[in-house]
Structure 1
Amino acid sequence: MNFNLKDMILIFIRGFLMGSADTIPGVSGGTIALITGIYERLIHAISSIKFGFIKPLIKLDFAGFKEKLFEEIDFELFIPLVLGIGIAVLTLSKVIRYLLQNYTAYTFSFFLGLILASAYILYTKLDEINIKLIILTIIGIILSYIFVGLNPIAANHSLIVLFFSGMIAICAMILPGISGSFLLLLLGQYAYMLDSLNSLNFTEIIVFIAGAFIGILGFSKILNYLLENYESATMAFLIGIMIGTLRLPFNQITSNLTGSWLICLILAIIGVVLIVVLEKKLS
């Protein structure tokens, strides 16, 4: 397989941005993947993994194993993307936690700008806007608005709970508009997993990743089918979900603001500009 260095660097940047988004409650890595033009390739690549390479490996047919492995797995995509996501999560988790604890309103103002601009850009990319798509968008808004208003549940941090939390969160992380971090927040696992990352508790991290791996393989097939057969309807619904999740940053801003509304507005505008620039440079 021939690897294009420039393409891999651009994919790494996308991965870093996705990982950065996935550490933030209310912001989705899937949104970043979508506006930077890599989303459908990512979903298709994940759903194409069928583990057909295991059979020749068991038979010690290494030539067949290699052929099947490179046939099923898009290494040119996955290597830089996963590397970028991993580095972002490991390096930014402490920064994000600090900002959320000490500058809550300002941090969420920036996030609000990111989400708002992402929703607008994605809506402009729909092939057409008709009553059906508008209704699906409204349904998405209502459902996510209600969902975001739910209170976090009190849950333990056993390995089995972390495994299923990984399964659930990863499904949201690849959905534009649905934050995997926010789902972890609702499941009572967000702060715990951030602490596990910061202190490198490998047992918890490995179990969580294992759950995420199982979850993403199954859910990606459903998403791939919907995008191939009902792309506009699926996207309209996902955009609605994205708009509905604005309830989270807005509530955080209004309930935690101790400084200036003007600074909040400026940070939101910076978020909007950043998304517009990313969309133009990486799409």
Structure 2
Amino acid sequence: MFIWSNIFRGIAMGVTELVPGVSGSTVAMFMGVYERLLQALNDLTTRNWKRALGFLIPLGLGMGCALLLFSHLITYLGKYHKMPLFYLFVGLILGILPFLWRSSHIQTNKSFRLFHLMLIFLSFTLVALLRLLHDPTASMEQTGSVEHTANMLTNLSFSTYLFLFAAGWIASTALVLPGVSGALMMIILGAYDTATIALKSFHIPVIFTIGLGVCAGIFITSRVIRFFFNTYTQVTYAVMLGLVAGSIVLIFPVGMPYSFLYGVICILSLFAGFMTAITFGKVERT
């Protein structure tokens, strides 16, 4: 009944959600489970709810473990090895784009027309412009507010919990949309530090409040996206392509590696991410 291999997929998605600018649903796409994820979320309120839970529970367990176990590691990499980390995800996204393009043609048996190309450009631009609001590659280096945020966890009011619930809801909308990062939305809303410190210190009330908002948002947003996939398949794929491609601009590191060896490491990270996505894409086709 339970698809236990989803634990590993959930871990990959959870680690990704810890990186501002990178979407866990993008990883779900190259692992070939994105549409199955949307279907399972929709099936929760149907007679197929047992099958949906068999898919979702292992996935959720994997994501939860990743959020709790890898938050320190991702924070460390983001602070001291930012460029290789983000080049790895740039490579993943570059490898996903051919898979998405090919999937669109397979699902609809049609080529993109001018209208669809315009949708790709528009959604690409909208995501890329998020960098003007906040640079996700710089946010992981900012540690000045961490101590202040840790102190805040002991003085949270009812209105703060409402805000955290709303932040989780909004971030979950980004979580379901490929190319849009839930972590980045939390940063823009000003709730990222609170959520990160809560995870590190295992602060149950904050984790539960944000998680409740995330669950509520995912449940509703997934239904909307599933409707568009079923009704306007090619249009939806065009928008997804633009969102995912735009996230490259969003997370691309600024500046040059400080040494030749570090530059080689960045290139190898980019290549590793690209080949990982291509390999998963080939497995999905077979």
How far off is 1:101 after superposition? 0.7
Alignment of 1:135 onto 2:137: no
Q: CA RMSD in A?
A: 2.3
| Shift in CA distance, 150/71, structure 1 to aligned 2, threshold 3 Å | closer
Aligned pair partner of 1:206 in 182, 204, 208: 208
Match of 1:75 in 2: 53
Match of 2:87 in 1: 109
Q: State whether residues 164 and 211 of structure 1, in contact with CA within 8 Å, keep that contact through their aligned partners in structure 2.
A: yes
Q: 1:262 to 1:102 in 2, by over 3 A?
A: same
Q: Quick one: which amino acid aligns to residue 85 of structure 2?
A: T
Alpha-carbon deviations, 1:230-255, whole Å to 9, x = none? 112111111111111212322xx224
Question: Which secondary structure state, in structure 2, belongs to the residue aligned with residue 245 of structure 1?
Answer: helix
- Quote the residue 1:19 is aligned against: 14
**TM-score, normalisation: structure 2:** 0.83
SS at match of 1:27: coil
Quote how far apart the aligned CAs of 1:212 are. 0.9
Partners of 2:4 and 2:223 lie apart in 1 by: 27
The one-letter code sitting in structure 2 at the alignment partner of 1:195 is I
Q: Is the 8 A contact 1:100 1:107 kept in 2?
A: yes
Q: Deviations over 1:92-113 (max 9, x none)?
A: 1111011001111221111211
Distance 1:281 1:89 in 2: 27
- Distance across 2 between alignment mates of 1:243 and 1:268: 15
Is this contact kept in 2: 1:148–1:245, CA < 8 A?
A: no
Q: 1:96 maps to which residue?
A: 74
Q: Does 1:254 align with 2:254?
A: yes
SS in 2 for 1:125: helix
- Residue 78 of structure 1: CA displacement? 1.3
Equivalent positions of 1:115-154 (< 5 A) are 115-127=93-105, 128-151=111-134
Return the alpha-carbon distance in structure 2 between the equivalents of residues 101 and 150 of structure 1.
20
**Helix, strand or coil at the partner of 2:133:** coil
Q: What displacement does 1:42 show?
A: 1.4
Structure 1 residue ranges (4+ consecutive) displaced by more than 6 angstroms after TM superposition:
154-157
In structure 1, what is the Cα distance between the partners aligned to 2:256 and 2:209?
A: 34
Once the two structures are overlaid, the 10-residue window that deviates more, 8-17 or 100-109, is 8-17
Q: Structure 2 counterpart of 1:17, which letter?
A: A
Aligned-partner residue type, residue 121 of structure 2: I
Shift of 1:71: 4.2
Q: 2:49 and 2:127 mapped to 1: Cα distance? A: 38
Which runs of structure 2 are paired with 1:148-187 in the superposition (5 Å)? 148-151=131-134, 158-187=160-189
CA separation of 1:12 and 1:121: change in aligned 2, threshold 3 A: same
State which of 195, 198, 206 in structure 2 corresponds to 1:196.
198
What amino acid is aligned across from residue 118 of structure 2 in structure 1? I
On the 8 A contact 2:130/2:250 being kept in 1, the answer is: no
8 Å CA contact 2:89, 2:270 repeated in 1? yes
- Cα distance between partner residues in 2 of 1:37 and 1:111: 17
Measured after TM superposition, the shift of residue 282 of structure 1 is 5.3
1:84 maps to which of 45, 62, 66: 62
Q: 1:23 to 1:282 in 2, by over 3 A?
A: farther
Shift, 1:129, TM fit: 2.6
- Give the corresponding residue for 2:142: none
* 5+ residue gaps, structure 2: 106-110, 136-144
Q: Separation in 2 of the partners of 1:10 and 1:101?
A: 31
Name structure 1 gaps, 5 residues minimum. 53-67
Q: Distance in 2 between matches of 1:186 and 1:71?
A: 35
TM-score after normalising by structure 1: 0.83
